[in-house]
Amino acid sequence: MPLGELTKQLAQQALLSATSAPAKEPAPAPQPDNAGAAILGQVAGMQKALKEDEELVIFFQHGATRLRVLEIYFPTWRVAVLGGADQERAMARVISPVDSLQLLVRVVKAQPGAKPVRIKLVAPKT
């Protein structure tokens, strides 16, 4: 078989396998003038871009209390519920209007041998 024909067959097979692969759930697209959707889209995009050994660390601080966010749930696009652990590793939730929500987001390497943590993102039901 000539080299050109083999290359063409390999390219065809690669194209077919790429188009027949199961589709992953797309990240929710931010809607214009929707702060909740924009926050969700930014966090989803940052998380999608992580390498296998990286994780997002999201913090919410209120006074002396600091919460490591493990879940962001939007019952509506105007209200965010942040779930996570505080300094004493107690589970806590913050309910906040999206317009005043401020989050500190960092990309860090996961602990050696540990599975990287992924933030659970939940959009409102339409």
Q: pLDDT (tens digit, 9 = 90+) per residue, 31-83?
A: 457 899 999 999 999 999 999 999 999 999 998 999 999 999 999 999 999 99
pLDDT at 2: 59
The structural domain count of the chain equals 1
Higher pLDDT, 89 or 27: 89
Does the structure show a pLDDT above 60 at 123? yes
Confidence tier at 15 by pLDDT (50, 70, 90): low
Please name every residue paired with 92 in a beta bridge, in sequence order, or none if there are none.
84
Domain-located, residue 32:
no
- Its pTM stands at 0.69
Domain-located, residue 89:
yes
Angle at the Cα of 60 from the Cα atoms of 55 and 56, rounded to 5 degrees: 5
pLDDT at 7: 59
Rounded Cα distance between 72 and 67, Å, is: 12
What does residue 54 show for φ and ψ, rounded to 5 degrees? -115, 155
Domain-located, residue 45:
no
The range of the structural domain enclosing residue 96 comes to: 51-126
Domain-located, residue 15:
no
Domain-located, residue 21:
no
pLDDT at 21: 47
Domain-located, residue 98:
yes
